[in-house]
Amino acid sequence: MASRVTTLLSFDSRDDTLKTAPDVALPPKLCVEGLTKSYGEFTALEPTDLAIAPGEFVTLLGPSGSGKTTLLQLICGLIDATSGRVLIDGVNQAGIPAHKRDIGLVFQNYALFPHMTVNENVSFPLLMRRVSEPERSRRVEETLAMVQMGHLGHRFSRELSGGQQQRVALARCFVYRPSIILMDEPLGALDKKLREQLQLELKRLHRETSATIVYVTHDQEEALALSDRIVLMNQARIEQIGTPQQIYRRPATAFAAAFIGTSNIIRGDVVQDKGRARFRTTLGEFELAASRESDRDGALVVRPEHLKVGDAGANRLTGTVEDVVFAGAENRVIVRAEGSLLVTSCSARTQPPILGTQITLSWDPSDAVIVP
């Protein structure tokens, strides 16, 4: 199975086209083919295919029970597949135990040895691989410097804060340079501020090491911030694969639109009117962009930032302001229209609409997408 690796340079919001450098054909670092897992009559993972290129940061995103952790455990060999196979650098991993797959694991609970110092914790994987003492010392020093923990090398892990312990867990994984690094919600136990700081650390580490990383999370913002590509999972199968921009701006299904960020989802039917496709709903009929797929029924998705107060857009509807939520840089305005709740955003510097008043909302056809 071939894979394509590209360097993303820019994103054109007008046509959703990724501007890239010339493609370089490379074999995938990790390849999953027809992988499934069942427990009796319960299916934990439907047949799944996925190829990950060398140096990619791929996030498995989805709600609890969607199959993302099962897929991660199958990749690293912690559980056996019902069918299908996992290939690393083209080598089938069937029958190869987890500790021989050249995979690094970072868990949510850190799993550090409390009786060891930071240096000893980070050195442990090298000691198990019988790396010489001078080489161990050099690599431990370099890796701790990389995660900005070199000055705490002689402290015991139990004496560190949660954020510091997670940095040590990352260093312990990076120090022996595994072929693939798997991370299972490694920032889930941290507070929001610290989580955001470590997200920046992870992005920096990924750039500096060019490691191939498969990251599991249920946090949409985290996935959007970190990933080269997102694998969105739902009900034990892959729902959509794409870059963060593609999945956010052009969701493929109603689930993808609802799970990633905030969406206004208006259900209805596509009808033809004088050769042009329109979307008929209980709120009215709306124009569809000619360039968008419009030959199927389903739901119209409009993000809050594209739903404007006023009649500037080609599509318009009226509703009553039900609530205004202050969110720092913006106000979220909740509008009720014909029994439906819609969300729009406006700058916090402007005066928000008054509760109970009727307002007009509008959007451009090119800023909406039809999903099944």
Give tens-digit pLDDT for 11-40: 333 344 333 333 445 789 999 999 999 999
pLDDT top residue among 277 and 68:
68
User: Does residue 200 belong to any structural domain of this protein?
Assistant: yes
What distances in angstroms separate CA 75 from CA 68, 100, 103, 296, one per listed residue? 11, 12, 9, 37
User: Does residue 240 belong to any structural domain of this protein?
Assistant: yes
Q: What is the pTM assigned to this prediction?
A: 0.84
pLDDT for 372: 82
Average of per-residue pLDDT across 139-150: 89
User: Which CATH number goes with the domain that contains 79?
Assistant: 3.40.50.300
CA distance 335 to 361: 9
Average of per-residue pLDDT across 202-227: 92
Q: Which of these ranges, 20-24, 102-106, 129-133, 187-191, has the smallest mean pLDDT?
A: 20-24
User: Which CATH number goes with the domain that contains 328?
Assistant: 2.40.50.140
User: Which alpha helices (DSSP H) does the chain contain, by range?
Assistant: 68-76, 118-128, 133-146, 162-174, 192-209, 220-226, 244-249, 254-259
Average of per-residue pLDDT across 273-292: 81
316 in the same domain as 215? no
Give the model's confidence band at 293: pLDDT under 50 very low, under 70 low, under 90 confident, else very high. Answer: low
Contact 37, 79 (CB under 8 A): yes
Confidence check: pLDDT of 263 > 60: yes
CA distance 88 to 105: 15
How does pLDDT run across 319-331, given as a tens digit for each residue?
A: 999 999 998 888 9
64 in the same domain as 196? yes
- Nearest CA to 84 out of 35, 46, 38 is that of 35
pLDDT top residue among 49 and 348:
49
| 207, 233, 254 - which closes a domain | 254
Q: Which of these ranges, 18-32, 150-164, 241-255, has the smallest mean pLDDT?
A: 18-32
Angle at 39 between CA 93 and CA 51, to 5 degrees: 35
For 262-266, the CB contacts below 8 A with 24+ separation are 262/303, 262/304, 262/343, 263/301, 263/302, 263/303, 263/304, 264/301, 264/302, 264/303, 264/304, 264/307, 264/342, 264/343, 265/299, 265/300, 265/301, 266/299, 266/300, 266/301, 266/302, 266/340
Count of domains observed in the chain: 2
Domain assignment of residue 8, given as a range = 3-102+179-254
pLDDT for 255: 94
339 in the same domain as 249? no
297 in the same domain as 246? no
User: Does residue 107 belong to any structural domain of this protein?
Assistant: no
CA distance 65 to 70: 9
Give the model's confidence band at 85: pLDDT under 50 very low, under 70 low, under 90 confident, else very high. Answer: very high
User: Does residue 138 belong to any structural domain of this protein?
Assistant: no
205 in the same domain as 87? yes
User: Does residue 131 belong to any structural domain of this protein?
Assistant: no
Left (φ > 0), alpha (ψ -120 to 50) or beta: where does 185 sit?
left
60 in the same domain as 39? yes
Task: State what percent of residues in the chain have pLDDT above 90.
Answer: 57
345 in the same domain as 309? yes
pLDDT for 24: 44
User: Does residue 235 belong to any structural domain of this protein?
Assistant: yes
294 in the same domain as 233? no
| 219, 254, 289 - which closes a domain | 254
235 in the same domain as 280? no
300 in the same domain as 271? yes
Close Cβ partners of 200 (under 8 Å, ≥ 6 residues apart):
none
| 223, 254, 285 - which closes a domain | 254
358 in the same domain as 305? yes
CA distance 314 to 350: 23
pLDDT for 276: 80
- Give the H/E segment covering residue 212: strand 212-217
Grouping H, G, I as helix, E, B as strand and the rest as coil, residue 125 is helix
| DSSP designation for 67 | S
Close Cβ partners of 145 (under 8 Å, ≥ 6 residues apart):
none
User: Does residue 158 belong to any structural domain of this protein?
Assistant: no
Mean of per-residue pLDDT scores for the chain = 87
Confidence check: pLDDT of 63 > 90: yes
For the chain, how are helix, strand and coil distributed in percent, rounded to 5? 25, 40, 35
Q: Which of these ranges, 19-23, 291-295, 311-315, 341-345, has the smallest mean pLDDT?
A: 19-23
278 in the same domain as 345? yes
User: Does residue 64 belong to any structural domain of this protein?
Assistant: yes
